């Protein structure tokens, strides 16, 4: 049943992505000048890349929120842990399973779009799929955060909290990134100091933005990419350790 729901959701999502095809078949003009199909396809693909990557946070949070409570209710937890299976193996196995599922889901959607562009325009967007894989690090963060929170909070609260963290990251770092443009810097008077919490906050948006620079091949402004990746990896590792600590202390 679980598998059927997953396949159905995947089919619906792929069908939506396939609808993008019609975008490439229309004639567009900007400031009176026609836009060639290549430029159009490239920009549309970039926007859809971000939409898919952002929508996957919702999907991942929903998949992860009931991971342990579902296993507890349907007997899977006892089924596994009465055997010579360590708790850490169970927790990490479940988390990695959900993460791989989410990653595969996102990669299929990105691959569908990649193939649509290739079929319609003959253009192969470099870095599109590797950027998708980099965004999978964000999904691991979302999975671990939701699973950790679900050990304390009701499932829906855990998912909502995760989406809240992601939302704050998008707002905070999105604003910061926008302020990197010369135009906006001229428009906003005075130099503003970036608050420490904004620097330390999980760099979910920044990682996605950095991944998109693999598609646009533009420079990544604002902070070193290594910090962005290290930030997310650190939070993911710390939350996974905390989830294990909590799970080890809980009753089965």
The residues of the shown chain that bind other proteins, judged by CB under 8 A, are 1-3, 73-76, 78-86, 89, 249, 251-252
Residue 157 neighbours by CB under 8 Å, 6+ apart: 149
What is the rounded CA–CA span in Å between residue 6 and residue 131? Answer: 24
Judged by beta carbon, residue 227 or residue 245, the one nearer other proteins is: 245
Structure tokens at 17: 């992505």
CB of 72 to other proteins, least distance (A): 10
DSSP 8-state secondary structure symbol assigned to residue 29:
E
CB of 60 to other proteins, least distance (A): 21
Instruction: Please report, for the chain, how many H helices and E strands are present, in that order.
Output: 12, 2
CB of 78 to other proteins, least distance (A): 6
CB of 191 to other proteins, least distance (A): 55
CB of 61 to other proteins, least distance (A): 22
Bridging pattern class, strands 33-35 and 28-30: antiparallel
Helix, strand or coil for residue 32? coil
Judged by beta carbon, residue 80 or residue 111, the one nearer other proteins is: 80
Judged by beta carbon, residue 85 or residue 230, the one nearer other proteins is: 85
CB of 157 to other proteins, least distance (A): 25
Judged by beta carbon, residue 38 or residue 85, the one nearer other proteins is: 85
Judged by beta carbon, residue 76 or residue 213, the one nearer other proteins is: 76
Judged by beta carbon, residue 3 or residue 25, the one nearer other proteins is: 3
CB of 63 to other proteins, least distance (A): 15
What is the rounded CA–CA span in Å between residue 110 and residue 133? Answer: 10
Helix, strand or coil for residue 34? strand
Helix, strand or coil for residue 30? strand
What b/e string do you get for 84-104 counting C-beta neighbours within 10 Å, with b at 16 or more? eeebeebbeebbeebbebbbe
* C-alpha torsion 116→121→124→129, nearest 10: -20
Judged by beta carbon, residue 2 or residue 33, the one nearer other proteins is: 2
Sign of CA dihedral 97, 152, 135, 164: positive
């Amino acid at each position: 049943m679980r598998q059927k729901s997953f396949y159905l959701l995947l089919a619906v999502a792929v069908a939506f992505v396939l609808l993008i095809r019609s975008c490439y078949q229309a004639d567009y003009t900007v400031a009176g000048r026609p836009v060639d199909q290549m430029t159009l396809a490239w920009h549309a693909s970039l926007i859809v890349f971000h939409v898919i990557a952002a929508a996957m946070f919702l999907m991942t949070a929903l998949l992860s929120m009931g991971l342990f409570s579902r296993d507890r209710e349907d007997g899977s937890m006892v089924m596994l842990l009465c055997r010579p299976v360590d708790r850490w193996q169970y927790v990490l196995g479940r988390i990695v399973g959900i993460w791989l599922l989410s990653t595969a889901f996102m990669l299929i959607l990105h691959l569908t779009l990649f193939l649509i562009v290739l079929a319609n325009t003959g253009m192969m967007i470099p870095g599109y799929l590797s950027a998708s894989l980099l965004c999978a690090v964000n999904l691991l963060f979302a999975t671990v955060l939701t699973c950790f929170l679900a050990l304390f909070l009701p499932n829906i609260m855990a998912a909502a909290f995760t989406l809240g963290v992601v939302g704050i990251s998008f707002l905070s770092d999105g604003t910061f990134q926008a302020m990197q443009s010369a135009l906006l810097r001229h428009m906003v008077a005075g130099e503003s100091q970036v608050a420490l919490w904004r620097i330390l906050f999980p760099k979910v948006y920044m990682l996605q933005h950095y991944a998109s620079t693999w598609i646009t091949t533009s420079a990544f402004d604002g902070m070193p990419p290594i910090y962005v990746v290290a930030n997310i990896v650190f939070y993911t590792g710390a939350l996974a350790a905390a989830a294990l600590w909590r799970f080890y202390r809980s009753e089965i």
